[in-house]
Structure 1
Amino acid sequence: MRLHRNLVFAVIDGLSEIFNEEAYADKIVQKLLKRDKRWGSRDRSFVAETVYDIVRWKRLYAEIAEVKEPFSRENLWRIFAVWATLRGITLPDWKQIAPTPTRRIKGRFDELGKIRKFRESIPDWMDTLGEKELGAKWDKEISALNQQAPVVLRTNALKTTKDALRSILEDENIDTGFVKGYPYALQLTERANVFSTEAFKKGLFEVQDASSQLVAEFLDVKAGQRVVDTCAGAGGKTLHLAALMENKGQIIAMDIYENKLKELKRRARRAGAHNIDPRVIESTKDIKKLYEKADRVLIDAPCSGLGVLSRNPDAKWKLKPEFLNQIKKTQLQILESYSKMVKSGGKLVYATCSILPSENQDQVKLFLTSEMGKEFIFVKDKKILCSSSGFDGFYMALLEKK
C-alpha cells in the first residue's frame, strides 16, 4: 500500500483536533471528507478508517510511540508511524516521519498485549469499572467493543418489505444479508455510502443498529394508541414505533434539544410517518400535562454509551467517572418523573445503550422500590452484550402499571 501525502496530512490534522481540542471524531471525519473534491471513495475511506482506527487504539499506540498528551504534530506523526508499521505499510521517506524502529514497535506491541488496559486501549478507571460490573465477561466484551461496528439498516415497513428493499438495493449495487431474529434488519456485506442511494432518499430504510431495533418492539405498541417517546433525539426509535403502529394513533416525541427534533421532522417526512408530534421539553409543565395520559412510554435514557464504543471510539477518552455518577442520578430522576405519564394498565420501557448493570437492572430495581415505582410491576428485561450478539450493547426493561 502506497501512502499519499495529502491523505496522511488530513489524518494528522483530524487527529490533532480530536485529541487536543476535544472535537467529536464523527464531526471531524465528516469535515475531512469534504476537504478535496478530487478524492475518490478509496481515498475517503482511507482517511475515515485511519482516523477512527488511531482514535480507537490511542492509548496503545501512544504508549508504543512513547508520547504523552497533549500531542504535538511530531507526536502525532510518531503515532501514525506506529499505526502504519503494525499494518505492514512501508513508510515513505518524508521529513515528517523520523526513522522508525520497526522491530522495537513490534516488540512493544507484543509486550503491551499482555496487559488488558493497553491491549484494549482503555483508561485505567474504565478497565477497573468494567471488571467490577461484568466480572469475567468484561474481557470478551471490551474486545468486541473494539471491533468496527457493522452497518445495519431497518426496513421502513410503512413503504416496503425487507425482501423488496434487499432487491432494490441490489439494483443500486449494495449487497445486504438478512439478520436472523431481527424482522426488519438488513446488514451490509461491505461498507458503502447508503445515504446517496435512491432507496434512502425515498425513505425506504433508516440506518439503525440491530440491537436498537429491538427497543420499539419491546414496548408492545398497538395501532391507535397514544405513545410518548420521552428522549426521542433525532428519532430512530420514534420512526420505528410509527411503522409498528401503521401510522395510526399518536406518538409524542419529546426532547430537550430542539435541533434534534427538527432533524426528526425531516426524517419523518422522508419516511412518510404522519402520526408523530414533536415537542420540546422546556419545563416540567410539558411533562405534567401528560401525566396518566399515555398507553405506552419509552424512556431511552441518557447513559454512558459504553455499549456503542465500536461506533463511537472517541467516547473512551471523553467519558469521565464523574459523568457516570451524575448520569445515574439523572436516570433515576427521569424514571420517577416520566413514569407518571403512564395510564393504569399501560406499559413503560426503560432502555439504555450501556452494558453496565449499575445503569440498567440496578436502576430498575431501585425505581421499583420507590414511591412511584410501587405502582409498577416488572414484566421482563433483555440484556444485550456486543460479544454475544455482534451488535451494540443494549438494555431494555418492560414495566406495567397496575
Structure 2
Amino acid sequence: MKARKIIVKILDNIFNNRAYSNIELNKYLNSEEIDSKDRALITEVVYGTIKYKSTIDTILSNYVKDIALIDVAVINILRSAIYQMRFLDRVPDYAVVNDSVNLSKEVSQNSSRFVNGVLRNYIRNEKKNYKEGFAKLESICFDYSFDKWMVKLFILQYGEELALEILKGLNYRPNITVRVNSNKSDYDEVFEKLEEEGYDVEEGSISPDAIKINKGSTIEKNPLFISGDITVQDESAMMVAPLFNFDSNDIVMDLCSAPGGKTTHIAELLQNEGEVLAFDVHEHKLKLIEEHKERLHLENIKTDIMDATKLNAKYINYATKVLIDVPCSGIGIIRKKPEIKWTKNARELRDLVQIQRNIMENAWEYLRVGGELIYSTCTLNKKENEENIDWFLDKHNDAVIEKVFIGNSKNIINNENGSVTILPNEYMDGFFIAKLKKR
C-alpha cells in the first residue's frame, strides 16, 4: 500500500506539475525507508505508467463517459492499476484492485466505489479488443503508446519499417551504463571488482569504455563511483568525445556542457592536459559539473556561465575544438524520460531549430582555422539533425564535414552527409553526431 501511494504521488507531480520522472523518483526513493523489492516496483510502475499513458487512457475511456472528468486525485490510481494488471504479472489482479480501492478511500467513499467499479469491469473484459475499428495509424499509436504526431514524424522521416523499430526501441526499459575513467582506472579491473561486488555486468555494445549493469545495488553508492573510477553515462553519449583528434595542448570549449558527461569524458581523454572550458546558462548546473570534476580527479576543466545562443567576443578564434551538444527535443531518450512523449509537440520542435542554428553560428566563430567541431543531439528528428548540418554546410564555405564512423551495429545509420544516427534499442539511447572541420 505504501509503495502504491508513493507511485501515485510521483505520477501526480509528473502529469500535473510537469516534473521530471528521474528527479521525482530519486527524491522519493532516497528520502523514504523503502526495501529493494518496493523500490523496484515503484520504479517499474512509474516509468511504465508514463510510457503507456496513451494506451491506458484509451482503455479507461471504454469504462468511463469522459476520462477528462475523472478527479485528478483518482486518475493516476486508475492508470497505475491498469498498467500493473495489463503489463506486469508479479502482482495478482485482486491485490492491485484492493490496494487501489483503499488508496482512493483517502479521496472519498464515492471515489473508492468508482475505482472498484472501473477496475472490476476491466477484469471482466480481459479479452476485449480495444483496437476494434481503428485505422492503421491509430493501431500503431495504441500498441506503442505514442501521440499521432510523433508516429507520423517517424514514418515520414524513416519509413514505416524503421519507424516501428524506433517506437519499439524507445519503449525498452533502460539499464544503467557506466564509463570507466581511463585517466584513473583499468577497464578489466573495474569490471572484475563490480562482479565481485555482486553486480551482473557485461561489456558495452560499442564503446570500449562502457560497462552495462544489468542488476545490482545503486551504483552511485558504490565505492568505485564515489572514488571516480566510473561515472554513469549512456553508451550513445560515450561515442562523442573520442571522435575528436586530441592534442595535449588543445583548448576545448563545451558550450552546452551540463550535466557534464561529455565534458568529463573529454578531460579524461586529454589525460588532464590541455584546457576544457565548460559553459552553461545555469549556475546550479555548473556546480554539478564541478562535483563530477572533483570526484573524477580532473584538473583541466574550468566552468563559467555563458549563453551559447549569444556571441561572446572574448572567445572568437579561441578554441581548437568545440563541442555543441545542443538543446533539442530529446525524443531519442524517451527510454529514460518517457514523459517526453506527452510534454513535447510539433511546434516546439520547429522552434528549437533556430536556437540550434544560432549556437552553431557562435560555435563556428569560437573555432580556430583547422579546428574541429562536433554537433550532437539526443533527438531523432532529422530537422534538428541532418537538415541542420546540410544548412550549415551550404552557408559556410570554410566548413567541411568529416565522415563519422562508430561501428556497424544494427542500430547505427551512416547518413549520406557523413553524420551518424544511433537508433534506440535495449542498450542505447537515440542519438545524432556530426563532425565538421574549419578549413
Does the TM-score normalized on the shorter chain lie above 0.5?
A: yes
Structure 2 residue identity aligned to 1:16: D
Contact 1:231–1:300 (CA under 8 A) maintained in structure 2: yes
Paired with 2:234 and 2:54, the residues of 1 have a C-alpha distance of 27
Contact 1:347–1:401 (CA under 8 A) maintained in structure 2: yes
> When the two structures are superposed, what TM-score results if normalisation uses the length of structure 2?
0.85
Specify the SS of the correspondent of 1:53: helix
Paired with 2:353 and 2:362, the residues of 1 have a C-alpha distance of 14
Specify the SS of the correspondent of 2:374: strand
Residue in structure 2 matched with residue 377 of structure 1 by the alignment: 400
Give 2:159's match in structure 1, choosing from 132, 135, 141: 135
The answer on 1:150 being equivalent to 2:157 is no
The answer on 1:233 being equivalent to 2:236 is no
Paired with 1:57 and 1:156, the residues of 2 have a C-alpha distance of 36
Specify the SS of the correspondent of 2:93: coil
1:119-170 deviation line (CA, Å, top 9, x unaligned): 1111121122221122221111011101111211000111101111112222
Residue in structure 1 matched with residue 116 of structure 2 by the alignment: 98
1:225-258 deviation line (CA, Å, top 9, x unaligned): 1111111012100100011101100001111111
Contact 1:64–1:108 (CA under 8 A) maintained in structure 2: no
- Evaluate the alpha carbon distance shift between residue 367 and residue 283 of structure 1 in structure 2; reply closer, same or farther with a 3 A threshold: closer
Residue in structure 1 matched with residue 433 of structure 2 by the alignment: 396
Shift of 1:386: 1.3
- Evaluate the alpha carbon distance shift between residue 134 and residue 284 of structure 1 in structure 2; reply closer, same or farther with a 3 A threshold: closer
Paired with 1:294 and 1:77, the residues of 2 have a C-alpha distance of 53
Contact 1:64–1:105 (CA under 8 A) maintained in structure 2: no
Paired with 2:184 and 2:362, the residues of 1 have a C-alpha distance of 36
Residue in structure 2 matched with residue 262 of structure 1 by the alignment: 287
Question: Cα RMSD between the aligned structures?
Answer: 2.0
Paired with 1:41 and 1:71, the residues of 2 have a C-alpha distance of 33
Contact 1:141–1:386 (CA under 8 A) maintained in structure 2: yes
Paired with 1:361 and 1:276, the residues of 2 have a C-alpha distance of 30
Give 2:144's match in structure 1, choosing from 120, 124, 128: 120
- Evaluate the alpha carbon distance shift between residue 106 and residue 205 of structure 1 in structure 2; reply closer, same or farther with a 3 A threshold: farther
Q: Please list every run of 5 or more consecutive structure 2 residues that lacks an aligned counterpart in the other structure.
A: 103-111, 404-418
Give 1:19's match in structure 2, choosing from 1, 15, 24: 15
Specify the SS of the correspondent of 2:235: coil
Residue in structure 1 matched with residue 78 of structure 2 by the alignment: 78
Paired with 2:221 and 2:282, the residues of 1 have a C-alpha distance of 27
Shift of 1:305: 0.6
Specify the SS of the correspondent of 1:98: helix
Structure 2 residue identity aligned to 1:116: I
Which piece of structure 1 moves more, 75-84 or 292-301?
A: 75-84
Specify the SS of the correspondent of 2:323: strand
Paired with 1:108 and 1:91, the residues of 2 have a C-alpha distance of 22
Contact 1:287–1:338 (CA under 8 A) maintained in structure 2: no
Shift of 1:384: 0.8
Contact 2:331–2:378 (CA under 8 A) maintained in structure 1: yes
Specify the SS of the correspondent of 1:400: strand
Residue in structure 1 matched with residue 408 of structure 2 by the alignment: none
Residue in structure 2 matched with residue 361 of structure 1 by the alignment: 386
The answer on 1:29 being equivalent to 2:25 is yes
Contact 1:185–1:210 (CA under 8 A) maintained in structure 2: yes
Paired with 1:40 and 1:173, the residues of 2 have a C-alpha distance of 18
Q: Please list every run of 5 or more consecutive structure 1 residues that lacks an aligned counterpart in the other structure.
A: none
The answer on 1:310 being equivalent to 2:335 is yes
Residue in structure 2 matched with residue 183 of structure 1 by the alignment: 208
- Evaluate the alpha carbon distance shift between residue 110 and residue 128 of structure 1 in structure 2; reply closer, same or farther with a 3 A threshold: closer
Residue in structure 1 matched with residue 221 of structure 2 by the alignment: 196
Contact 1:120–1:146 (CA under 8 A) maintained in structure 2: yes
Paired with 1:296 and 1:116, the residues of 2 have a C-alpha distance of 43
Specify the SS of the correspondent of 2:32: coil
- Evaluate the alpha carbon distance shift between residue 71 and residue 157 of structure 1 in structure 2; reply closer, same or farther with a 3 A threshold: farther
Could you tell me the percent identity over the aligned residues?
A: 27
1:29-87 deviation line (CA, Å, top 9, x unaligned): 122214532x2111112112111110110010111012634752333232233122213
